[in-house]
Structure 1
Protein backbone atom coordinates (compact mmCIF):
# COMPACT_ATOMS: atom_id res chain seq x y z
CA UNK A 1 0.00 0.00 0.00
CA UNK A 2 1.41 3.37 -0.89
CA UNK A 3 2.20 5.93 1.74
CA UNK A 4 -0.58 8.34 0.64
CA UNK A 5 -3.22 5.60 0.83
CA UNK A 6 -2.03 4.72 4.35
CA UNK A 7 -2.24 8.39 5.35
CA UNK A 8 -5.76 8.69 3.94
CA UNK A 9 -6.84 5.51 5.74
CA UNK A 10 -5.23 6.71 8.98
CA UNK A 11 -7.02 10.08 8.57
CA UNK A 12 -10.39 8.33 8.20
CA UNK A 13 -9.73 6.23 11.30
CA UNK A 14 -8.84 9.34 13.33
CA UNK A 15 -11.94 11.19 12.13
CA UNK A 16 -14.12 8.14 12.90
CA UNK A 17 -12.72 7.95 16.43
CA UNK A 18 -13.17 11.68 17.05
CA UNK A 19 -16.79 11.52 15.84
CA UNK A 20 -17.45 8.76 18.41
CA UNK A 21 -16.92 11.32 21.18
CA UNK A 22 -19.93 13.29 19.97
CA UNK A 23 -23.00 11.62 21.45
CA UNK A 24 -26.59 12.90 21.31
CA UNK A 25 -28.79 13.24 24.36
CA UNK A 26 -30.35 9.88 25.18
CA UNK A 27 -34.05 9.15 25.57
CA UNK A 28 -33.82 7.50 28.99
CA UNK A 29 -36.44 7.66 31.74
CA UNK A 30 -34.44 5.70 34.35
CA UNK A 31 -37.31 3.31 35.04
CA UNK A 32 -39.76 5.93 36.27
CA UNK A 33 -43.28 5.75 34.92
CA UNK A 34 -44.71 9.27 34.68
CA UNK A 35 -48.24 10.00 35.83
CA UNK A 36 -49.10 10.86 32.21
CA UNK A 37 -48.14 7.39 30.92
CA UNK A 38 -50.87 5.45 29.12
CA UNK A 39 -50.74 2.82 31.88
CA UNK A 40 -51.77 5.51 34.39
CA UNK A 41 -54.60 6.79 32.18
CA UNK A 42 -56.13 3.44 31.18
CA UNK A 43 -56.31 0.04 32.81
CA UNK A 44 -53.74 -1.74 30.63
CA UNK A 45 -53.68 -5.51 31.07
CA UNK A 46 -50.24 -6.96 31.77
CA UNK A 47 -50.06 -8.82 28.46
CA UNK A 48 -50.89 -5.67 26.47
CA UNK A 49 -48.46 -3.56 28.51
CA UNK A 50 -45.75 -6.11 27.78
CA UNK A 51 -46.51 -5.97 24.05
CA UNK A 52 -46.43 -2.15 24.05
CA UNK A 53 -43.13 -2.07 25.95
CA UNK A 54 -41.50 -4.66 23.70
CA UNK A 55 -42.82 -3.45 20.35
CA UNK A 56 -43.57 0.27 20.75
CA UNK A 57 -41.94 2.02 23.69
CA UNK A 58 -38.39 2.26 22.29
CA UNK A 59 -39.55 4.78 19.69
CA UNK A 60 -42.83 5.99 21.22
CA UNK A 61 -42.04 6.80 24.85
CA UNK A 62 -39.57 8.74 26.96
CA UNK A 63 -37.64 5.56 27.77
CA UNK A 64 -35.62 3.84 25.07
CA UNK A 65 -33.81 0.58 25.68
CA UNK A 66 -30.61 1.22 23.72
CA UNK A 67 -28.76 -1.61 21.98
CA UNK A 68 -24.95 -1.62 21.84
CA UNK A 69 -24.83 -0.31 18.27
CA UNK A 70 -26.70 2.83 19.36
CA UNK A 71 -23.44 4.22 20.74
CA UNK A 72 -21.62 4.09 17.40
CA UNK A 73 -21.68 7.15 15.17
CA UNK A 74 -23.27 7.88 12.76
CA UNK A 75 -25.86 5.23 13.77
CA UNK A 76 -26.48 7.05 17.04
CA UNK A 77 -27.57 10.25 15.29
CA UNK A 78 -29.84 8.27 12.97
CA UNK A 79 -31.48 6.45 15.89
CA UNK A 80 -32.01 9.60 17.94
CA UNK A 81 -33.65 11.31 14.99
CA UNK A 82 -35.86 8.27 14.44
CA UNK A 83 -36.88 8.25 18.12
CA UNK A 84 -37.55 11.99 18.07
CA UNK A 85 -39.85 11.58 15.05
CA UNK A 86 -41.60 8.59 16.63
CA UNK A 87 -42.26 10.51 19.85
CA UNK A 88 -43.58 13.46 17.89
CA UNK A 89 -46.17 11.17 16.29
CA UNK A 90 -47.08 9.23 19.45
CA UNK A 91 -45.66 9.26 22.96
CA UNK A 92 -47.05 6.72 25.43
CA UNK A 93 -45.23 8.47 28.27
CA UNK A 94 -47.18 11.68 27.63
CA UNK A 95 -50.53 10.07 26.85
CA UNK A 96 -52.33 11.80 29.71
CA UNK A 97 -51.36 15.19 28.27
CA UNK A 98 -53.35 14.47 25.10
CA UNK A 99 -56.95 15.64 24.87
CA UNK A 100 -59.65 12.96 24.99
CA UNK A 101 -60.23 13.47 21.27
CA UNK A 102 -56.53 13.05 20.48
CA UNK A 103 -56.34 9.92 22.66
CA UNK A 104 -59.26 8.40 20.77
CA UNK A 105 -57.66 9.28 17.43
CA UNK A 106 -54.29 7.83 18.51
CA UNK A 107 -55.94 4.58 19.67
CA UNK A 108 -57.64 4.25 16.28
CA UNK A 109 -54.32 4.96 14.54
CA UNK A 110 -52.52 2.34 16.65
CA UNK A 111 -55.19 -0.21 15.80
CA UNK A 112 -54.98 0.55 12.08
CA UNK A 113 -51.18 0.60 12.00
CA UNK A 114 -50.75 -2.76 13.69
CA UNK A 115 -53.59 -4.42 11.74
CA UNK A 116 -51.93 -3.29 8.50
CA UNK A 117 -48.55 -4.39 9.92
CA UNK A 118 -47.08 -0.94 9.36
CA UNK A 119 -45.88 -0.90 12.96
CA UNK A 120 -43.41 -1.76 14.27
CA UNK A 121 -41.33 -0.67 11.30
CA UNK A 122 -39.60 -3.44 9.36
CA UNK A 123 -36.28 -1.64 9.83
CA UNK A 124 -36.78 -1.93 13.60
CA UNK A 125 -37.82 -5.57 13.39
CA UNK A 126 -34.67 -6.40 11.46
CA UNK A 127 -32.63 -6.04 14.65
CA UNK A 128 -35.42 -6.52 17.24
CA UNK A 129 -37.05 -9.84 16.37
CA UNK A 130 -38.89 -10.02 19.69
CA UNK A 131 -40.84 -6.86 18.77
CA UNK A 132 -42.59 -8.55 15.87
CA UNK A 133 -46.33 -8.74 16.45
CA UNK A 134 -47.92 -12.14 15.91
CA UNK A 135 -51.57 -12.39 14.94
CA UNK A 136 -52.36 -13.25 18.57
CA UNK A 137 -50.52 -10.17 19.91
CA UNK A 138 -52.26 -7.93 17.39
CA UNK A 139 -55.61 -9.37 18.48
CA UNK A 140 -54.78 -8.77 22.16
CA UNK A 141 -53.96 -5.11 21.54
CA UNK A 142 -56.93 -4.57 19.20
CA UNK A 143 -59.32 -6.21 21.68
CA UNK A 144 -57.99 -3.97 24.45
CA UNK A 145 -58.39 -0.84 22.29
CA UNK A 146 -61.93 -1.86 21.36
CA UNK A 147 -62.74 -2.40 25.03
CA UNK A 148 -61.64 1.19 25.71
CA UNK A 149 -63.90 2.46 22.93
CA UNK A 150 -66.78 0.51 24.51
CA UNK A 151 -66.07 2.08 27.93
CA UNK A 152 -65.94 5.59 26.45
CA UNK A 153 -69.43 5.27 24.96
Structure 2
Protein backbone atom coordinates (compact mmCIF):
# COMPACT_ATOMS: atom_id res chain seq x y z
CA UNK A 1 0.00 0.00 0.00
CA UNK A 2 2.88 2.38 0.74
CA UNK A 3 4.28 1.95 -2.77
CA UNK A 4 0.95 3.01 -4.28
CA UNK A 5 0.84 6.09 -2.05
CA UNK A 6 4.37 7.05 -3.13
CA UNK A 7 3.40 6.72 -6.77
CA UNK A 8 0.27 8.85 -6.26
CA UNK A 9 2.30 11.48 -4.38
CA UNK A 10 4.90 11.54 -7.16
CA UNK A 11 2.14 11.99 -9.77
CA UNK A 12 0.60 14.79 -7.72
CA UNK A 13 3.95 16.56 -7.41
CA UNK A 14 4.53 16.13 -11.16
CA UNK A 15 1.05 17.52 -11.91
CA UNK A 16 1.81 20.59 -9.79
CA UNK A 17 5.28 21.11 -11.25
CA UNK A 18 4.15 21.03 -14.87
CA UNK A 19 1.81 23.94 -14.14
CA UNK A 20 4.90 26.18 -14.08
CA UNK A 21 5.99 25.29 -17.63
CA UNK A 22 3.71 27.18 -19.95
CA UNK A 23 3.98 27.81 -23.67
CA UNK A 24 4.08 31.38 -24.95
CA UNK A 25 0.66 32.79 -25.73
CA UNK A 26 -0.42 33.62 -29.26
CA UNK A 27 -1.60 37.12 -28.44
CA UNK A 28 -0.84 40.23 -30.46
CA UNK A 29 -2.38 43.60 -29.76
CA UNK A 30 -0.51 45.21 -32.65
CA UNK A 31 -2.21 46.08 -35.91
CA UNK A 32 -2.04 43.31 -38.49
CA UNK A 33 -1.32 45.12 -41.78
CA UNK A 34 -0.85 41.83 -43.67
CA UNK A 35 -4.25 40.45 -42.70
CA UNK A 36 -6.32 39.08 -45.55
CA UNK A 37 -9.18 41.47 -44.74
CA UNK A 38 -6.95 44.52 -45.33
CA UNK A 39 -6.12 43.48 -48.88
CA UNK A 40 -9.39 41.95 -50.03
CA UNK A 41 -12.95 43.15 -49.74
CA UNK A 42 -14.49 41.39 -46.76
CA UNK A 43 -18.08 41.70 -45.62
CA UNK A 44 -19.08 41.96 -41.98
CA UNK A 45 -20.54 38.44 -42.26
CA UNK A 46 -17.22 36.97 -43.39
CA UNK A 47 -15.34 38.89 -40.69
CA UNK A 48 -17.71 37.38 -38.13
CA UNK A 49 -17.14 33.87 -39.53
CA UNK A 50 -13.37 34.37 -39.39
CA UNK A 51 -13.57 35.66 -35.83
CA UNK A 52 -15.83 32.86 -34.55
CA UNK A 53 -14.53 29.86 -36.46
CA UNK A 54 -11.02 30.54 -37.76
CA UNK A 55 -8.93 33.13 -35.97
CA UNK A 56 -8.18 31.28 -32.74
CA UNK A 57 -5.95 28.91 -34.72
CA UNK A 58 -5.31 30.84 -37.93
CA UNK A 59 -4.27 34.31 -36.75
CA UNK A 60 -1.77 36.03 -34.48
CA UNK A 61 -4.34 36.50 -31.74
CA UNK A 62 -5.93 33.57 -29.96
CA UNK A 63 -8.72 34.04 -27.43
CA UNK A 64 -7.86 31.47 -24.80
CA UNK A 65 -10.53 29.63 -22.80
CA UNK A 66 -10.21 29.12 -19.05
CA UNK A 67 -8.95 25.57 -19.43
CA UNK A 68 -5.87 26.85 -21.29
CA UNK A 69 -4.47 27.63 -17.85
CA UNK A 70 -4.14 23.95 -17.03
CA UNK A 71 -1.22 21.80 -18.13
CA UNK A 72 -0.98 19.69 -20.23
CA UNK A 73 -4.04 21.20 -21.95
CA UNK A 74 -2.14 24.43 -22.69
CA UNK A 75 0.58 22.46 -24.47
CA UNK A 76 -2.03 20.64 -26.54
CA UNK A 77 -3.72 23.95 -27.48
CA UNK A 78 -0.35 25.52 -28.27
CA UNK A 79 0.43 22.67 -30.67
CA UNK A 80 -2.93 23.14 -32.40
CA UNK A 81 -2.45 26.89 -32.76
CA UNK A 82 1.10 26.55 -34.10
CA UNK A 83 -0.03 23.86 -36.53
CA UNK A 84 -2.99 25.96 -37.66
CA UNK A 85 -0.82 29.03 -38.23
CA UNK A 86 1.76 26.95 -40.10
CA UNK A 87 -0.93 25.84 -42.55
CA UNK A 88 -2.70 29.19 -42.84
CA UNK A 89 -2.34 32.45 -40.97
CA UNK A 90 -4.90 35.05 -42.01
CA UNK A 91 -2.86 37.78 -40.26
CA UNK A 92 0.19 37.02 -42.44
CA UNK A 93 -1.74 36.12 -45.59
CA UNK A 94 -0.51 39.03 -47.72
CA UNK A 95 3.12 38.06 -47.06
CA UNK A 96 2.58 34.83 -48.99
CA UNK A 97 3.33 34.51 -52.70
CA UNK A 98 0.27 34.80 -54.94
CA UNK A 99 0.49 31.08 -55.75
CA UNK A 100 0.23 30.16 -52.06
CA UNK A 101 -2.62 32.63 -51.47
CA UNK A 102 -4.55 31.14 -54.37
CA UNK A 103 -3.84 27.56 -53.25
CA UNK A 104 -4.75 28.20 -49.58
CA UNK A 105 -8.06 29.80 -50.53
CA UNK A 106 -8.90 26.74 -52.61
CA UNK A 107 -7.91 24.43 -49.77
CA UNK A 108 -10.04 26.48 -47.37
CA UNK A 109 -13.08 26.02 -49.57
CA UNK A 110 -12.47 22.28 -49.76
CA UNK A 111 -11.90 21.87 -46.01
CA UNK A 112 -15.01 23.86 -45.10
CA UNK A 113 -17.13 21.96 -47.64
CA UNK A 114 -15.87 18.62 -46.35
CA UNK A 115 -16.62 19.64 -42.74
CA UNK A 116 -12.96 19.30 -41.77
CA UNK A 117 -12.75 22.96 -40.75
CA UNK A 118 -13.33 24.18 -38.21
CA UNK A 119 -12.05 21.10 -36.40
CA UNK A 120 -14.67 19.05 -34.58
CA UNK A 121 -12.46 19.11 -31.47
CA UNK A 122 -12.82 22.92 -31.57
CA UNK A 123 -16.54 23.08 -32.33
CA UNK A 124 -17.26 20.52 -29.60
CA UNK A 125 -16.55 23.23 -27.01
CA UNK A 126 -16.98 26.34 -29.19
CA UNK A 127 -20.42 25.53 -30.54
CA UNK A 128 -20.77 29.04 -32.01
CA UNK A 129 -17.93 28.15 -34.42
CA UNK A 130 -20.05 25.55 -36.22
CA UNK A 131 -20.86 26.90 -39.65
CA UNK A 132 -24.33 26.68 -41.09
CA UNK A 133 -24.85 25.80 -44.74
CA UNK A 134 -25.44 29.49 -45.49
CA UNK A 135 -22.27 30.53 -43.64
CA UNK A 136 -20.24 27.95 -45.54
CA UNK A 137 -21.60 29.37 -48.80
CA UNK A 138 -20.79 32.94 -47.74
CA UNK A 139 -17.24 31.93 -46.77
CA UNK A 140 -16.71 29.90 -49.94
CA UNK A 141 -18.09 32.65 -52.18
CA UNK A 142 -15.69 35.10 -50.51
CA UNK A 143 -12.73 32.77 -51.11
CA UNK A 144 -13.78 32.20 -54.73
CA UNK A 145 -14.18 35.96 -55.21
CA UNK A 146 -10.61 36.54 -54.07
CA UNK A 147 -9.37 33.72 -56.30
CA UNK A 148 -11.17 35.30 -59.27
CA UNK A 149 -9.65 38.68 -58.45
CA UNK A 150 -6.19 37.10 -58.34
CA UNK A 151 -6.77 35.37 -61.70
CA UNK A 152 -7.78 38.68 -63.28
CA UNK A 153 -4.86 40.58 -61.81
CA UNK A 154 -1.93 38.17 -62.27
CA UNK A 155 -0.61 36.08 -65.17
CA UNK A 156 -1.25 32.33 -65.14
CA UNK A 157 2.32 31.44 -64.20
CA UNK A 158 1.83 33.33 -60.90
CA UNK A 159 -0.27 30.41 -59.66
CA UNK A 160 2.37 27.75 -60.14
CA UNK A 161 3.58 26.62 -56.75
CA UNK A 162 7.34 26.41 -56.84
CA UNK A 163 8.80 23.24 -55.37
CA UNK A 164 11.18 23.67 -52.47
CA UNK A 165 14.73 22.65 -53.18
CA UNK A 166 15.89 19.64 -51.21
Matched, 1:22 2:21: yes
Contact 1:41–1:95, Cα closer than 8 Å, also in 2: no
* Residue segments in structure 2 that go unaligned for 5+ positions in a row: 153-166
CA contact (8 A) 1:55 1:131 kept: yes
- Correspondence for 2:147 among 145, 149, 153: 149
- Following superposition of structure 1 onto structure 2, how do residues 4-153 of structure 1 map, counting pairs within 5 Å? 4-30=3-29, 32-152=30-150, 153=152
Secondary structure of the residue aligned to 1:26 is: coil
Over the residues paired in the alignment, what is the CA RMSD in angstroms? 1.3
**Alpha-carbon distance between aligned partners in 1 of 2:79 and 2:148, rounded to the nearest angstrom:** 36
Number of aligned positions between the proteins: 151
Distance (Å, rounded) in 2 between the aligned partners of 1:9 and 1:101 = 54
CA drift at 1:146:
2.3
1:78 Cα deviation after fit? 1.2
Offset of 1:96 from its aligned partner? 0.9
Unaligned 5+ residue runs, structure 1? none
Displaced runs of 4 or more, over 6 A: none
Q: Is the 8 A contact 1:33 1:93 kept in 2?
A: no
Q: Distance in 2 between matches of 1:118 and 1:8?
A: 41
